Structure 1
Amino acid sequence: MPLPFLTADRAFDTTDAVALPFDDHDQWRRPYRPGPYRVGAAALALLLASFVLLAAVIIVAAGSFGGGIATFAFAVLIILASLRLLRMGTWVSRAGVRRIGFFVTTTTPWAKVGSVRTAQQPVRWLNFPRTVQGQALVLDRAAGERLLLLTDHNADFLSRSEAFDRAADTVEAWHAEYGVRR
């Protein structure tokens, strides 16, 4: 069963200098592969969910139907959380750029994007409160607001600086193609 939110297109594995390698630019795409920390955390959550599901079966077999249903619901919440964790990140299409967080999704049409640039600044390390000096892909909206799209110290790009550079260049290429020409 293919999981489209897990894979990036094969075009990012090649050395071709194609800026927008997708055939269908109307579909939302993540221009990079999820990092090992994000995939590892989701795998551990799914492993925990399998144990919770086993516990739900044992609880139902022991005769406590209500407790089994509650345990099953908890396992479903863990599975949904791990899928959302895998879906998090920056997605692009002809319509704009979308930043998917765990609880909040922000979509900005290309017409409202002022600039997309890479900046050296303090960034959060694996989304913990601790900050370190790093690179961030910053989206400046036309209204003057700033949105952090990617950092080189998040779960997708920690210790993968080449992947961060490639993803930042790809998002900038999408902005150059579909952003407002000034």
Structure 2
Amino acid sequence: MPLPFMAADRDFGDLAGDAPLPYADHDHWRRPYRPGPWRVLGAAVELLIASYLLFATLIMLMAGSLTGALVCLLFGALFITAALRLLRCGVWVSAQGIRQVGMLYTTTLKWDQVTAVHTVQQPVRYLGLPRTVQGQALVVQTGQRRAGRPETLRPLLTTANADFLGRPEAFDRAADTIEAWAAELR
């Protein structure tokens, strides 16, 4: 019996590598890079904890403890929501502008508000922790002025965040792609 999904003639080079995701429609929000292994690992651990909590919910229901089951179900749903939000974190671009999605915030700038997008060498936070290391960061400058200089927002991407830690080529490719979007749509 032929199995078309196991065909040897298919090219999986772009799927397995660090190539940026293709984009054809500029009107939809796209992440111009793949989520990194640290981000996926964190979400997988959260989903594993959620599965244990949901199993505990089933055990509590069978034992007759409705309150305990509801608490476990609530925490399980909280872990699932956090895992999905963690996978959604990152930089998204479209014809409307550039969007930075974090765990608890989302910042969107229209392209006409952006004056420059460029890579700089600076201390960056290691996996979002307070510790900093020397690395590269992709920063956005807006047209707003603060103390006579253009306002620079928090770095969009860094070489030490969950998407690019240990993958400098992927960082360079993602930064170049976002800079190209900015140059084309500003």
TM over 0.5: yes
SS of the aligned residue for 1:142 comes to strand
Give the counterpart letter for 1:175 in structure 2. A
Which residue number in structure 2 is paired with residue 91 of structure 1? Answer: 92
Q: Offset at 1:132?
A: 0.6
Q: Offset at 1:122?
A: 0.4
Query: Which 10-residue stretch deviates more, 64-73 or 157-166?
Result: 64-73
| Count of residues in Structure 1 that have an aligned counterpart in Structure 2 | 167
Please tell me whether residue 41 in structure 1 is matched to residue 42 in structure 2: yes
RMSD (CA atoms): 1.9
Which residue number in structure 2 is paired with residue 164 of structure 1? Answer: 171
Identity %: 56
Runs (4 or more) in structure 1 with deviation over 4 Å come to: 10-15
SS of the aligned residue for 1:159 comes to coil
Q: Offset at 1:145?
A: 2.0
CA distance in 2, matches of 1:97, 1:12: 26
Query: Which 10-residue stretch deviates more, 142-151 or 123-132?
Result: 142-151
Give the counterpart letter for 1:170 in structure 2. T
- Write out aligned runs for 1:130-141 (5 A): 130-141=131-142
Q: Offset at 1:21?
A: 4.6
Please tell me whether residue 24 in structure 1 is matched to residue 25 in structure 2: yes
CA distance in 2, matches of 1:22, 1:35: 19
1:32-57 per-residue CA deviation (whole Å, 9 max, x = no partner) reads 00000000010011011000000011
Q: Offset at 1:12?
A: 10
Which residue number in structure 2 is paired with residue 3 of structure 1? Answer: none
- Unaligned stretches of 5+ residues in structure 2: 1-13, 145-149
SS of the aligned residue for 1:145 comes to strand
- Write out aligned runs for 1:15-164 (5 A): 21-143=22-144, 144-147=150-153, 148-164=155-171
Q: Please tell me whether the aligned partners of residues 139 and 156 of structure 2 are also in contact (alpha carbons under 8 angstroms).
A: yes
Q: Please tell me whether the aligned partners of residues 123 and 151 of structure 1 are also in contact (alpha carbons under 8 angstroms).
A: yes
